[in-house]
């Protein structure tokens, strides 16, 4: 099985009204103290937030959470922005999550914002004052509703079959190009997965070492939780390139962390720190060896 067979490309495009605008340099200069007015306009840059809205901020926060969730449930992005390679094992879960997210946005978050929008726009006029207020920057409530949308779709990077009827040679060349791109993409995904794992291992290893030598008095539960969660997602679905060496290392990491908590390491119960640190150091050596053996080139589909 290949990367192309184990994943589906998924597009996510989030639309929303932007609430930041650039302040015109001439206007900005006029607002500065007299001695500053000699500054050239091209040297000035500033922006303004044209509305204060907790309801809008909730939309932004939810959009960010949905994007992060999708990143966690896809393989590392090597495609153009907004396109994710979703493991086939996660497709139904992704579809369900994104459907719930879009429904929450459409039927709760955006209506909550629209209900307060006009009053908040009037308050913005008072807060910004005559110099910074511009009525043209505020759409009508009806227009505003159309500026919020979430578009999702599955896309394909296969060769257009109709090309066969145009030219056998064109079809052959395009097929070779796409196959080569997928091969390079597989190498890139492998590299990024190894780098992600190595970064998390190093973070926990340094935290454990800090407890041992006294350079770190506090250890966060996230050091353990992030590596454990990454390992579980990788073994359950994200090993789309079927990298047996990385899978073996991750299984070893998971076994090392089984039943291990922050307090266990802080209290050094059953001399646990030394065991965990030695195991993580061995895993890190293997991960670095994998990276050194890989080509450095990463690609993007256009």
Kindly report, residue by residue over 169-221, the tens digit of the pLDDT.
Answer: 787 887 788 788 788 888 888 999 999 999 999 999 988 888 776 666 677 88
**For residue 300, what pLDDT is reported?**
47
What tokens appear for 137 in the block?
Answer: 């920057």
The answer to whether the CB of 247 falls within 8 A of the CB of 239 is yes
Bin 29: left if φ > 0, else alpha if -120 < ψ < 50, else beta: alpha
In sequence order, the 6+-apart residues with CB closer than 8 A to the CB of 178 are 157, 158, 159
Annotate 175-198 with b (16+ C-beta within 10 A) or e (fewer): eeeeeebbebbbbbbbbebbeebb
pLDDT reading at 63 higher than 90: yes
| Torsion on CA atoms 282, 3, 236, 227, rounded to nearest 10 | 40
Dist CA 183 CA 111 (whole Å): 45
pTM of the predicted model, to two decimals? Answer: 0.77
pLDDT reading at 228 higher than 90: yes
**For residue 286, what pLDDT is reported?**
95
Distances (CA, A) of 164 to 4, 158, 182, 192, 278: 21, 13, 20, 35, 57
Give percent of the chain above pLDDT 90: 47
pLDDT reading at 293 higher than 70: yes
The answer to whether the CB of 290 falls within 8 A of the CB of 194 is yes
CA 289 to chain centre: 27
Dist CA 89 CA 92 (whole Å): 8
The answer to whether the CB of 58 falls within 8 A of the CB of 109 is yes
The answer to whether the CB of 158 falls within 8 A of the CB of 171 is no
Q: What average pLDDT does this structure show over 90-98? A: 94
By CB atoms closer than 10 A (0-12, 13-18, 19+), residue 97 is middle
Name the residue with higher pLDDT: 247 or 259: 247
Dist CA 216 CA 272 (whole Å): 17
Of 27-31, 47-51, 89-93, the poorest mean pLDDT is in 27-31
Q: What is the pLDDT of residues 125-169, one digit of tens each?
A: 998 888 778 888 899 999 999 999 999 999 887 777 777 777 777
């Amino acid at each position: 099985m290949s990367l192309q067979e184990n994943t589906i490309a998924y597009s996510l495009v989030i639309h929303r009204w932007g609430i930041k605008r650039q302040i015109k340099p001439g206007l900005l200069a006029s607002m500065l103290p007299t001695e500053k007015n000699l500054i050239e306009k091209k040297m000035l840059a500033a922006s303004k937030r044209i509305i204060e809205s907790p309801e809008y901020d909730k939309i932004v926060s939810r959009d960010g959470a949905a994007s992060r969730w999708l990143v966690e449930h896809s393989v590392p992005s090597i495609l153009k922005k907004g396109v994710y390679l979703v493991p086939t094992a996660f497709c139904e879960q992704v579809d369900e999550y994104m459907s719930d997210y879009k429904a929450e946005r459409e039927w709760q978050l955006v209506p909550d914002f629209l209900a307060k929008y006009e009053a908040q726009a009037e308050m913005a006029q008072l807060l910004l004052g005559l110099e910074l207020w511009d009525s043209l920057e505020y759409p009508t409530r009806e227009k505003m509703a159309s500026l919020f949308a979430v578009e999702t779709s599955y896309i394909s990077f296969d060769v257009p079959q109709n090309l066969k009827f145009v030219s056998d040679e064109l079809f052959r060349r395009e097929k070779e190009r796409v196959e080569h791109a997928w091969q390079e993409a597989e190498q890139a995904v492998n590299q990024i997965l190894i780098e992600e794992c190595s970064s998390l291992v190093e973070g926990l290893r340094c935290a454990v070492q800090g407890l041992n030598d006294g350079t770190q008095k506090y250890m966060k539960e996230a050091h353990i939780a992030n590596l454990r969660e990454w390992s579980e997602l990788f073994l359950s679905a994200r090993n789309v390139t079927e990298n047996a060496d990385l899978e073996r290392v991750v299984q070893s990491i998971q076994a090392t962390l089984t039943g291990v908590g922050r307090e266990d390491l802080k209290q050094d119960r059953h001399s646990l720190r030394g065991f965990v640190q030695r195991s993580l150091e061995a895993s890190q050596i293997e991960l670095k060896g994998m990276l050194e053996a890989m080509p450095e080139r990463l690609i993007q589909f256009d």
